Structure 1
Amino acid sequence: MGKYDYHSPQRKGAIRLKLEELPKIYDLSASDPRSELIDRSAQSHEELQRIDRIMAEMGRLRAVERKISLASQQYMQLNETDMRAVRFLISAKNTGSFVTPSALAKHLKISTASVTKMIDKMEKAGHVVRTAHPTDRRSLCVEVTNGAHIAAREQVGRHHAARFGAAARLSQAEQETVIRFLAETAHDVEASIASVREPGVPAA
């Protein structure tokens, strides 16, 4: 396979997104009809409707982000792990950091052997290059190519950057509320994950 052509006619304008209707699967009446997971007896009907709307909007955001991810993978002909590597390498390039194969393997949580195969594939396609480490002669670095960087920025980065506008339009008080909501949501979900034990495994 030759190097990837980022500017071919079939590639241009590859990512087109359409805002979808609010997903219904996140409605409490659909996900927990008998209140077995959440005791919501203290909430009024109006409060529950607003919470349902929040959950639905979060679901729609996840669906849109998933659509961007899948479209970008198709556009650049890379899988999800490859795209995570590209994003990591772009971030490193933007901050002037150097990424070794072992650092990339650690970030992706995969073996060094798997990273080597991935780098070989992506280098052959023209997405990344291996370069000499600037301070350690025994090490090599991995860098994203200019073509891959521009393609990811134009076809993926712009969609993600669009989130800035929604945040910027909020008042300071609204921003603080959103920050608190997202932080507490992440905390509560993490705590829920940590509380789940395998069957038959006693608590610590």
Structure 2
Amino acid sequence: MSSRADARRISGSMVDPRIIDPRQELVRHDDLSETELTEVVGVLNAIRDWREAEQRLSFESRSKMHLNETDMKALRYIIASMNAEVAVTAGALAEHLHISTASTTKLLDRLEASGHVVRRPHPTDRRAVTVQITPETHREVRRTMGMQHARRFEVVRALTSAERAVVTRFLTDLSETTLVIAPPAED
């Protein structure tokens, strides 16, 4: 087999325990039939493909709008709050983003300077200001991220109630496998 074919085979099997853990030091798979193992690897490949597609979309959207990931999270929060007719303050945004008020001020300064948000006086608290997204940015976020969400909604909508329950349980259980890797123990 050529080195190019080998490279493609390895790249396409980065989630296959037969390739990444052939001695079963981390993943036991000798109790599965070839069909079952192929199905498991198929699910893991589908998850990887979805994550990569999601990351590409997110990167492309952020790049086009000259934003970082936290900026995009802030804009999505502001849009959701505006849709729910809830005034967004810097404090609420800081809490949602889990960042300091100083970092929130810098974020809002940057978003305002680039024309993505405007600050307005709070309707009931003279000491506070609210943050609103500009119509142009709202349209752009809806065009990119909003359309993606709508497509995802339709995919989930097409599932039966039982299938949604299985997918929800699966994704919840999968989320719980995420852990923080501890530093190596000192000798």
Q: TM-score, normalised by structure 1?
A: 0.79
Higher relative contact order (CA 8 A, sep 6+): 1
Post-superposition, which runs of at least 4 consecutive aligned residues in structure 1 deviate over 4 A? none
The match for 1:9 is none
Identity %: 39
CA offset digits 1:157-181 (Å, max 9, x no partner): 1022211222122222222211121
1:176 matches 2:174: no
Indicate if the aligned counterparts of 1:131 and 1:141 stay in contact, CA closer than 8 A.
yes
SS in 2 for 1:62: helix
The runs of 5 or more residues in structure 1 that have no matched partner are 1-21
CA shift at 1:23, angstroms?
4.6
CA offset digits 1:40-86 (Å, max 9, x no partner): 23222211110000000000000110011011011211111111111
Equivalent residue in structure 1 for 2:20, among 31, 40, 56: 31
Aligned pair count reads 176
Q: Describe the shift of the 1:87–1:42 C-alpha distance in structure 2 as closer, same or farther (beyond 3 A).
A: same
The match for 2:43 is 54
Indicate if the aligned counterparts of 1:23 and 1:60 stay in contact, CA closer than 8 A.
no
The match for 1:109 is 98
Distance 2:91 2:146 in 1: 26
Structure 2 counterparts to residues 112-123 of structure 1, below 5 A:
112-123=101-112
The match for 1:132 is 121
The match for 2:74 is 85
Give 1:41's aligned amino acid: D
Distance 2:44 2:62 in 1: 27
Q: Describe the shift of the 1:177–1:132 C-alpha distance in structure 2 as closer, same or farther (beyond 3 A).
A: same
The match for 1:17 is none
Distance 1:31 1:111 in 2: 40
Indicate if the aligned counterparts of 2:17 and 2:29 stay in contact, CA closer than 8 A.
no
More helix per residue: 2
Structure 2 counterparts to residues 8-47 of structure 1, below 5 A:
23-47=12-36
Give 2:15's aligned amino acid: Y
Distance 1:24 1:165 in 2: 30
SS in 1 for 2:88: coil
Give 2:114's aligned amino acid: A
Distance 2:51 2:160 in 1: 24
Distance 2:118 2:175 in 1: 36
SS in 2 for 1:130: strand
CA shift at 1:138, angstroms?
1.4
SS in 2 for 1:129: strand
